[in-house]
Chain A
Amino acid sequence: MMLEKNGVRIAAISYDSQEILAPFAQKHSIGFPLLSDKGSQTIRKFGIFNFNMAPDLRSYGVPHPVEYLVTPDGSVVKKYFVDNYQHRVTGSAVALAEFGTVESDAPSVVLKSGALAVRVGFPSAQAFAGQEVGFFVDFALQPRWHIYGTPLPAGYTTTSVTFESPAIVSQKLELPAAEMSDIPVLGETLPVYTGSFRGIGMLLLKFPLPEGRLVLQGRLAFQQCSDTVCDLPETISFELGLTLEPFMISER
């Protein structure tokens, strides 16, 4: 587990009794603590009690689906909230964003054009439908070449990576802040990237999706320029695959 490799342990909290949690943990070989908050007192203390559930429903007492990364002394580093119980951020996405971890067998592709080399990949080869899956984009530019960030005036092409698939509900890519740079040949000051840098993205996968291989089509768009010349804007298409694990179905 990639979080554990980075010194972060995992625990889950629900309102279930120990009698429910013990067989569940055994059946699904869950190796981390499942904490029983029967009566939902801890859920209330966190301020995430879901008051939308009527007291006569079995769902009364559940929390809003929040995940926290906290330091050993309990300070929140980051929190993850998705608007549906069937959607979850992946542990590998958290490990990628916080620690830059990528598994050795994780899928990636290298895209090259002129002075630019880009590797796009997932931190892990596996995911579940409904998860927020992380992806990374590692850029490397030869010296004296740049590509563009934001904000950019009309007529230039901002660097972007987008996936196009009916399996994706939403996506985002966060790139580092671009450096404002004087471009003498253009007589303008523009936001540019140089050298090597990493962008971290997130794809929210639809739920449900059939288990097995999911191939996603992606597009890298950019315009590379040197101190003296500007290439035309380019788009490079690519494919990246993930293996979707079977979903655990409740027996009730």
Chain B
Amino acid sequence: MREFGRLRAAGLSIPAEVRARHVRATNDGYATGPDPGERIPEFALPDQSGAIRTLNDLAGPNGLFLVFHRSADW
């Protein structure tokens, strides 16, 4: 993981083998959260404008597609 970071920080090309090892290490013991049929936990979080949002106001008539992602910063 650190080798991957070091190469990327230095702007060097990342060998496929290092990339694959990085992907394996960062996904070790992965967990995927609630299964189909289960409820997601309640949440109330600020959006990019600072407004607090919950499932109730985010969902459309047929629901919500909720994407967890790494970061918008790096």
A77 and B63 within 8 A (CB): yes
B72 and A34 within 8 A (CB): yes
Given A11-B58, A22-B48, A36-B45: A76 and B30 within 8 A (CB)? no
Range class of the A interface residue count:
35 or more
Q: Cβ of B32: which chain A residues have Cβ within 8 Å of it?
A: 48, 64, 66, 79, 81
B63 and A64 within 8 A (CB): no
Does A62 belong to the interface (CB within 8 Å)?
yes
Q: Cβ of A9: which chain B residues have Cβ within 8 Å of it?
A: 58-60, 63-65
Give B39 Cβ to nearest chain A Cβ, in Å: 5
Does A70 belong to the interface (CB within 8 Å)?
yes
Q: Which residue of B lies closest to A51 (CB)?
A: B29
A58 and B55 within 8 A (CB): no
Given A14-B72, A66-B68: A37 and B40 within 8 A (CB)? no
**Chain A binding surface SS class:** mixed
A51 to B72, CA, bound (A): 20
A36 and B47 within 8 A (CB): yes
Q: Which residue of A lies closest to B34 (CB)?
A: A76
Q: Cβ of B45: which chain A residues have Cβ within 8 Å of it?
A: 13, 35-37, 42
Contact partner of A68 (CB less than 8 A), chosen from B33, B58, B62, B73, is B33
Q: Which residue of B lies closest to A49 (CB)?
A: B31
Does A12 belong to the interface (CB within 8 Å)?
yes
Does A134 belong to the interface (CB within 8 Å)?
no
Binds B, one of A83-91, A170-178, A195-203: A83-91
A residues in contact (CB < 8 Å) with B? 3-4, 6-16, 18, 20-22, 24-25, 30, 33-37, 42-43, 45-54, 57-59, 62-79, 81, 83-85, 88, 91, 94, 250, 252
Question: Across chains A and B, which 6 residue pairs bring their CB atoms closest together, nearest first?
Answer: A7-B62, A24-B72, A9-B60, A33-B47, A35-B45, A7-B61
